[in-house]
Amino acid sequence: MLKFVGTAQAYPGKREAELRAEDFREIADRYAVPSAEEQSSRCSQCGVPYCSVHCPLHNHIPDWLRLTAEGRLREAYQLSNSTSTMPEICGRICPQDRLCEGNCVIEFSGHGAVTIGSVEKFITDTAWEEGWVEPVAVGPARGQSVGIIGAGPAGLAAAEYLREYGYDVHVYDRHDRAGGLLTYGIPGFKLEKHVVMRRIERLEQGGVVFHLGFEVGREANLDELRKRHTTLLIATGVYKARGIQAPGVGAKGIVEALDYLTASNRKGFGDAVPAFDDGSLDANGKHVVVIGGGDTAMDCVRTAVRQGAASVKCLYRRDRANMPGSQRETANAEEEGVEFVWLSAPEAFDGVDTVTGVRASRMRLGAPDASGRRAPEVDPGGAFQLKADLVVKALGFEPEDLPRLFGAEELGVTRWGTLRTDGRTMMTSLDGVFAAGDIVRGASLVVWAIRDGRDVAAHMHAWMRARADTARAA
Ligand code: FAD
Ligand code: SF4
Ligand code: SF4
């Protein structure tokens, strides 16, 4: 260990930009065993590991790095798996520069962080290949059942822990495949779908029952589900797309980011997608303008490149330093030929029936707003026009109106529309109904959804045990 002085930081290689633009496969190579061991040995085994402190799961990072450096990969896998239900997924898509790696002490000393995410991915990918990943360790049956609404990372993590506690677990999702945004939001070039599907199959084999194509609010209301199960978890994520108020915004060819990404992911599964096949959600041969500067916008521009767009531009109202999206993904997009038009905002969309262009204003950064970020304001005299025959709106997501959709007006929400939960128990305003993930936090990260799933499972377990004890005593 402590080899960070003599051994330079080295991430696994990336495929050439021209090659990776031809398909939806992940862009990063895998470490070979010696490289993973060598990179792990750079860790200085801090007494207070800031990497772990800043990992939402508080993974035992220095310990599994040491085991990897020593060639004890199976033990590294077991330790890594003890705090996370999907380490290989987090290793792929966590914004490590803002979490574990961004807080690694050797990054601050100027030697470049330990490549924690890539090693984490390597450990569990190896475990899958070697057959070390064991079935879900189902606990003794308790005769109580849990209904989970939403099969995204929060719901799936909770399902796994609740099965281990011995509960019957039923997961309801309106989609035809489980995985939430792991399946239909995040593109394959960041997270190949077989990586998600093998996790879901493992849960199915562990007895988790999936009710797919089941939309709560349509197939059943919340009250009906409460009657079916001892307790419920709401983990439905946030899906109401933020809009743009601008003349012409209703024209054909102006589409929502998630519709666009879902269609592309479905094509990757081999599904028939009429709105893609008729060209509406296909960027092939088109001049594409994506509006937004977050991770969703980055995924859209890079999807458009892979679909063979004639040109891809990303319009964002702040500058590069103030964008919410990951710098790593922005750099990847630039390598793949995306042009960023910083400090720009759409004013109107041209085209009689179908969009033909975007009229935009130059922006400048003014005084900081309430959040402390410098607010963008129009820079007078800086109007310009861009040719566009596909415009993708990627301005973020807000919660849907769940009390109305679920027929449960008494379900408490915050002023932002997220579900209001008790900070100590994660229970909503309804007795025995818990909530976790983006529907509580607002749009966040996969690793936080997994953390919430882990925590809420423990709270639900405590609640059900107390209920069983009361029933026994009565
Ligand atoms: P979701 O993953 O949204 O899952 C919720 C599930 O609930 C869905 O399957 C939905 O179909 C289901 N559902 C909703 N309503 C109902 C209903 N009424 N009845 C039944 N089922 C219902 N995070 C990262 O960490 N790294 C990234 O690189 C990253 N990239 C992203 C890219 C995109 C395009 C987007 C949109 C998000 C990205 N995120 C990323 C954020 C991350 O995906 C989310 O924070 C995370 O998936 C939230 O998990 P969740 O389980 O709370 O919700
Ligand atoms: Fe880093 Fe995410 Fe893994 Fe935690 S879960 S160690 S933040 S990559
Ligand atoms: Fe190792 Fe960096 Fe974590 Fe310290 S902060 S334990 S050097 S990975």
pLDDT digits (tens, 9 = 90+) for 87-117: 999 999 999 999 999 999 998 888 899 999 9
Residue 330 has pLDDT above 80, yes or no: yes
Tell me which residue has its CA closest to atom 43 in ligand 1: 181
Entry pTM: 0.96
Using most ligand atoms within 8 A of CB, pick from 61, 99, 119 the residue to mutate for ligand 3. 61
Residues of the chain with CATH 3.50.50.60: 145-238+399-473, 241-393
Which-ligand-closest: CA of 99? 2
- May I ask the CATH architecture of the domain 241-393? 3-Layer(bba) Sandwich (3.50)
Q: Rounded distance, CA 288 to CA 291, Å? A: 10
pLDDT of residue 372: 77
CATH 3.50.50.60 fits 17-130, yes or no: no
Q: Which atom of ligand 3 is nearest to the CA of 107?
A: 2
Q: Report residue 183 as tokens.
A: 């399946």
Residue 323 has pLDDT above 90, yes or no: no
pLDDT of residue 35: 86
Tell me which residue has its CA closest to atom 4 in ligand 3: 46
Residue 380 has pLDDT above 90, yes or no: no
Residue 461 has pLDDT above 80, yes or no: yes
Which-ligand-closest: CA of 56? 2
- Going by pLDDT thresholds of 50, 70 and 90, the confidence category of residue 352 is confident
pLDDT of residue 5: 73
Residue 1 has pLDDT above 80, yes or no: no
Residue 29 has pLDDT above 80, yes or no: yes
pLDDT of residue 273: 96
Q: Which atom of ligand 1 is nearest to the CA of 181?
A: 2
Query: How far is the centre of ligand 1, averaged over its atoms, from the C-alpha of 331 (Å)?
Result: 24
Residues of the chain with CATH 1.10.1060.10: 17-130
Q: Report residue 424 as tokens.
A: 């100590």
Using most ligand atoms within 8 A of CB, pick from 104, 328, 447 the residue to mutate for ligand 2. 447
Query: How far is the centre of ligand 3, averaged over its atoms, from the C-alpha of 1 (Å)?
Result: 11
Tell me which residue has its CA closest to atom 31 in ligand 1: 186
Q: Rounded distance, CA 113 to CA 101, Å? A: 6
Query: How far is the centre of ligand 1, averaged over its atoms, from the C-alpha of 299 (Å)?
Result: 14
Host H or E run for residue 220: none
Using most ligand atoms within 8 A of CB, pick from 4, 41, 43 the residue to mutate for ligand 3. 43
pLDDT of residue 315: 96
By three-state DSSP, how is residue 368 classified? strand
Query: How far is the centre of ligand 3, averaged over its atoms, from the C-alpha of 9 (Å)?
Result: 13
- Going by pLDDT thresholds of 50, 70 and 90, the confidence category of residue 307 is very high
- Going by pLDDT thresholds of 50, 70 and 90, the confidence category of residue 326 is confident
Which pairing describes strands 344-350 and 357-368: parallel, antiparallel, or unpaired?
A: antiparallel
| Paired residues of 209 in beta bridges | 170
Residue 425 has pLDDT above 80, yes or no: yes
Any ligand 3 atom below 6 A from CB of 439: no
Check residues 179 and 10 and name the one with the higher pLDDT.
179
Using most ligand atoms within 8 A of CB, pick from 80, 96, 107, 328 the residue to mutate for ligand 2. 96
pLDDT over 90, % of the chain: 84
CA distances to 74, 197, 292, 425 from 150, in Å: 32, 16, 26, 19
Q: Report residue 209 as tokens.
A: 């029952």
Q: Give CATH for domain 145-238+399-473.
A: 3.50.50.60
pLDDT over 70, % of the chain: 100
pLDDT of residue 229: 97
Q: Which atom of ligand 1 is nearest to the CA of 156?
A: 51
Q: So what's the ipTM on this one?
A: 0.99
Do residues 185 and 262 make contact, with C-beta atoms less than 8 angstroms apart? Answer: yes
Which pairing describes strands 168-173 and 344-350: parallel, antiparallel, or unpaired?
A: unpaired
Q: Which of 116-130, 145-159, 191-205, 459-473 has the lowest mean pLDDT?
A: 459-473
pLDDT tens column, 147-204 = 999 999 999 999 999 999 999 999 999 999 999 999 999 999 999 999 999 999 999 9
Residue 457 has pLDDT above 80, yes or no: yes
